[in-house]
Amino acid sequence: MAPTLAYLLLCQLVLYTAVASKKECDRPLLSVGMDTDGLQRVYSPGDQVVVSCKRGFTPSPGLRTIICTARGDWTKTKLKCLTKSCSSPEPLDHGDMDFEDITYQSTITYTCHEGYSLHGARTVECLADGQWSMQKPKCLPVTCGLPPIPTYGKITYDRRFSGNTTMFGFGVNYECLPPLALIGNERGYCSANGKWTEPPECKLVTCPPPTNITNGYMTSDVNREHGYKETVRYGCNVDYMLDGPVEIECLSTGDWSEQPTCRAPCKIGITKGRIRYNGRKMWMKDFQQKMFSHKDIISFYCMDKNKKCTYEMSGQCLDGNLKIPECFEDPRLIDQFNSTSLPAELVPC
């Protein structure tokens, strides 16, 4: 009895050892693009799994079946899942495309240039069958209706056209019927949003009677209100110089444009010596004008410290003020008879 029991125990031990030596396999680790749906968490030795590719991937030729071995690992498969690609997109006329790839699930975003509107899908996707989700859109020119005409105004088109629509960028010029003033833009355009730019208004604008200017006059009796764009001319009294525009204009704001100013002449405070004026030397006693006009430039002769040579210093008449350089000395009467001692006659420094 004892030998028989021992033999049974030995058989059970061998059977247990044989079964225990077979390991289970975990869920197989598959490559990118392979379908993992329906896989179990654990498999027994000898179990088989047929591997396939996900949607959007193309299977390569080769063995697709893998087997769980007694060692607890899986046999190899030669299957490779390659990402499907869609056709290369054609350029979009009058627009741009933004994309990084043309493989499955990649997208293309379309935009149109200014003045063109997108007709069709803005974004398309590469589908699992290798086709794009939508057809390529089109960029069509933006159109506007006819431009609005201001009340009491008129418009001039840039070019002839037919129908009741105009294209992006098409322009017009606005005018107002006299004596109305055009308030706003003189030009209008069909803009990128399909609307015309804001039209101007035609309004009656008047400016108050213009005022006179000091040491000057207006060229006619104009003591009345003036309409938009009417003008008035100014002049200056004898010896005064007009600084600014000869003519002022009534603006669309109801104000006059900037008035000119009459600038005073300069009287020079020396009676002797020589100066350079209008490019030539002259004695002060021979200077017939006795005064200089506004903005005139006069050069004075100065001697160096050793009184051996001369140099020029300039002064400018500015509205009645002429500053004589400090280095200038009014020559004595005796110096005028000895001309070689005058600054103007010495050699240049």
Q: How confident is the model at residue 16 (pLDDT cuts 50, 70, 90)?
A: very low
Residue 334: per-residue pLDDT: 42
> What integer is the mean pLDDT of 224-250?
93
Report which of residues 341 and 153 the model is more confident about: 153
pLDDT at 284 over 60: yes
Q: Helix, strand, or coil here: 311?
A: strand
pLDDT at residue number 344: 63
For residue 87, the model assigns a pLDDT of: 96
Model confidence pLDDT, tens digit, residues 124-145 = 999 999 999 999 999 999 999 9
Instruction: Judge whether 198 and 174 are in contact, CB under 8 Å.
Output: no
Q: What is the pLDDT of residue 335?
A: 52
Using pLDDT thresholds of 50, 70 and 90, give the confidence band for residue 248. very high
pTM beyond 0.75: the answer is no
pLDDT tens track for 295-343: 999 999 888 888 788 898 999 999 999 998 888 877 664 455 455 567 7
| pLDDT averaged over every residue in the chain | 88
Instruction: pLDDT band for 268, please (50, 70, 90 cuts).
Output: confident
Long-range CB contact pairs, 181-186, < 8 A, 24+: 181/205, 181/227, 181/228, 181/229, 181/252, 182/150, 182/153, 182/252, 183/252
Rounded alpha-carbon distances, angstroms, from residue 215 to 118, 243, 265, 267, 293: 67, 12, 11, 17, 14
Confidence (pLDDT) at 19: 45
pLDDT digits (tens, 9 = 90+) for 210-224: 999 999 999 877 789
Joined together, the tokens standing for residue 13 give 């031990």
pLDDT computed for residue 21 by the predictor: 59
The predicted structure's pLDDT at residue 305:
83
Domains and CATH numbers, the chain: 31-83 (2.10.70.10), 95-141 (2.10.70.10), 144-200 (2.10.70.10), 206-263 (2.10.70.10), 266-345 (2.10.70.10)
- pLDDT for 340: 56
At residue 192 the predicted structure's pLDDT band, cuts being 50, 70 and 90, is: very high
pLDDT for 347 equals 78
Confidence of residue 91 (pLDDT cuts 50, 70, 90): very high
**Helix residue spans in the chain (DSSP H):** 2-20, 333-337
> In the β-sheet with 171-176, what is the strand arrangement from edge to edge?
153-157, 171-176, 187-189
CB half-sphere exposure, 344, CA atoms < 13 A = 20
pLDDT greater than 50 at residue 181: yes
As given in the structure block, the two tokens for residue 20 are 């225990």
**Mean pLDDT across the stretch 277-303?**
87
Residue 150's pLDDT band, with cuts at 50, 70 and 90, is: very high
pLDDT of residue 14: 42
pLDDT per residue over 31-76, tens digit each? 989 999 999 999 999 999 999 999 999 999 888 999 999 999 999 9
